[in-house]
Amino acid sequence: MTTPTPVRIYDSLQKQKVAFSPLVPGKVSMYLCGPTPYAAAHIGHAYSAICFDLIRRGLIFLGYDVTFVRNVTDVDDKIIKAAAETGEDPLALSARFADAYNADMARFAVMAPDIEPRVSTHIDPIIKITERLIERGKAYAVDGDVYFSVASFPTYGKLSGQSIDELEAGARIAVDDRKRAPADFALWKAAKPGEPSWPSPWGLGRPGWHIECSAMCWSHLGETFDIHGGGKDLIFPHHENEIAQSQGAFGDDSFARLWVHNGFLNFEGVKMSKSLGNVFGCGEIANAVGAEALRFFLVSHHYRSPIDFEITEVRDAAGTPVGVRFPGLEAADRRLEYFYVTLDRIDGFVAAGGDGGDGAVVPGADRLLDDARAALADDFNAPVTIAAMGEAAKLANKLLDEGKGVAKDVRRRSLARLGRDLRAAGDALGVLGQAPATYLAARRERLVARRGLDVAAIDGLLAERAAARAAKDWARADALRDQMAGLGVELLDTPRGTDWRVKDDE
């Protein structure tokens, strides 16, 4: 195995990019706060999963052996509430939505986690950590509840920049007077009727919100591991509390060595929220532009930056809103099409005449992987990686168009190399994994459906135009081109006949 490429990662705790050196050379242990499944996943869930999938794939691409843990929080207030409304068992309900979540993530090329622990099967380590915190004087039991005492953890607030005093001053939560300090938070909650509960030294109850992640990290990655990730919104209080619990139990040098947080998705400049009515489901987006276009769009931005989605309302003739479109996503899909068309051309060329065997390639045809490595090693810079892929695709198209001055085998070899490397770099980002024909056909089908086109009619016009062209009746051929353009169909004459595509930019 080759030596992994050294990588620099932005650490939320140190607030700067740092040289990353894993606990065990060559191996990386990662924990990501996963979903709390109580409803269908929305695009924000997908973004977080995709960001950390990008980091995971990036590390693998750079030569690391990654252990990736993403939990499912299946014991939670929201799940219990949703289950009460449907009469379903809370664990069954969350299992159902967890499966749906995983199916959605698979559509976006998110790799399944190596380990996917659930809270409900980690009650034992939760109790153990809680007991340990009580023994160490960092937690206290009151009437079947157990609270963590923030006063016992002097560095509380180091991740979020909050201080206990300020939190108290600005607290918007009603203060529970059984707590010693307002910022103290529950590790264990006494059971309420009808809720899932487990026996504990403090009576029947269930875990508080933050302790589960500390327990699952400990169970699967040990007291100390490399990277802990999540959405920016989790910094406070969730991750702050995780640090307090875990380090309170296992010491100041324990727990995550690096914290990574992804930026948020905004729609028309504002965050996505139910009250604003701008929550978009994974399925809705995937059907509108294709799952891979969303993935491509997202990795065209740096994972720490906020991403803004432009939305265009679609109205019918009477002015009634009938849906929305996402111009940015559609632009990303067009760029993705360019890459697939390029791969398709390369594949056709190589299939027809071979890959030219081993040997030298044209200048620049061998640099993509090095460029991708350099970009990804610098805090997983996917946009720069995509730019490098663009250069490679451009060179491939150039060789395809005008390979005249290049020796035959060098040309074949270069194109085969470019195709391979494009796919390898794409794999590091989770894109370009489909067969070009599959992607291209699905895209055309999607656009045909959107415009309500009749493919049989198009084929008829195509045949008619072919006949006109054969007869050199250019006026008729052009009239047919115009007619089809009016339908939104663009014609592409090639030496092997006429192909067509649906215009999507209006």
Rule CB under 7 A: which of 7-46 touch RNA?
15, 33, 35-36, 42, 44-45
In the complex, minimum distance from the CB of residue 433 to RNA, in angstroms, rounded to a whole number: 20
Report the distance separating Cα 196 and Cα 186, nearest Å: 17
Do the strands 307-309 and 312-315 form a parallel or antiparallel pair, or are they unpaired? unpaired
In the complex, minimum distance from the CB of residue 458 to RNA, in angstroms, rounded to a whole number: 15
Interaction between residue 306 and RNA (CB under 7 A): yes
Select from 243-251, 268-276, 403-411, 412-420 the region that touches RNA (CB under 7 A): 268-276
Residue from 110, 377, 477, 489 touching RNA (CB under 7 A): that is 477
Q: What is the DSSP secondary structure assignment for residue 287, as one 8-state letter?
A: H
Report the distance separating Cα 420 and Cα 188, nearest Å: 53
Q: What is the dihedral of CA 347, 350, 353, 356, to 10 degrees?
A: 180
Residue from 80, 133, 286, 307 touching RNA (CB under 7 A): that is 307
Interaction between residue 492 and RNA (CB under 7 A): yes
Interaction between residue 357 and RNA (CB under 7 A): no
Count of residues of this chain found to bind RNA when the rule CB under 7 A is applied: 84
Scan for tokens 């929201």, then name that residue.
78
Q: Which parts of 379-418 interact with RNA (CB under 7 A)?
A: 379, 381, 383-384, 386-387, 390-391, 393-394, 397-398, 400-402
Comparing CB distances to RNA, the nearer of 45 and 118 is 45
Do 247 and 254 form a contact (C-beta atoms < 8 A)?
Answer: yes
In the complex, minimum distance from the CB of residue 64 to RNA, in angstroms, rounded to a whole number: 20
Do 27 and 63 form a contact (C-beta atoms < 8 A)?
Answer: no
Residue from 14, 305, 438, 483 touching RNA (CB under 7 A): that is 305
Report the distance separating Cα 443 and Cα 289, nearest Å: 8
Interaction between residue 268 and RNA (CB under 7 A): no
Question: Buried b / exposed e across 20-32, counting CB within 10 Å, b at 16+?
Answer: bebeeeeebbbbb
Token pair of 208 as six digits: 């508080």
Q: Distance of CA 17 to CAs 55, 63, 260, Å?
A: 14, 20, 11
Q: Which parts of 161-180 interact with RNA (CB under 7 A)?
A: 161-163, 166-167, 169-173
Q: Which parts of 419-438 interact with RNA (CB under 7 A)?
A: none
Residues 6 or more apart whose Cβ sits within 8 Å of residue 233: 264
Tell me how long the chain is. Answer: 506
x-or-dash string of contact with RNA, 44-73, rule CB under 7 A: xx-xx-------------------------
Do 245 and 238 form a contact (C-beta atoms < 8 A)?
Answer: no
In the complex, minimum distance from the CB of residue 55 to RNA, in angstroms, rounded to a whole number: 14
Select from 117-125, 157-165, 245-253, 356-364 the region that touches RNA (CB under 7 A): 157-165
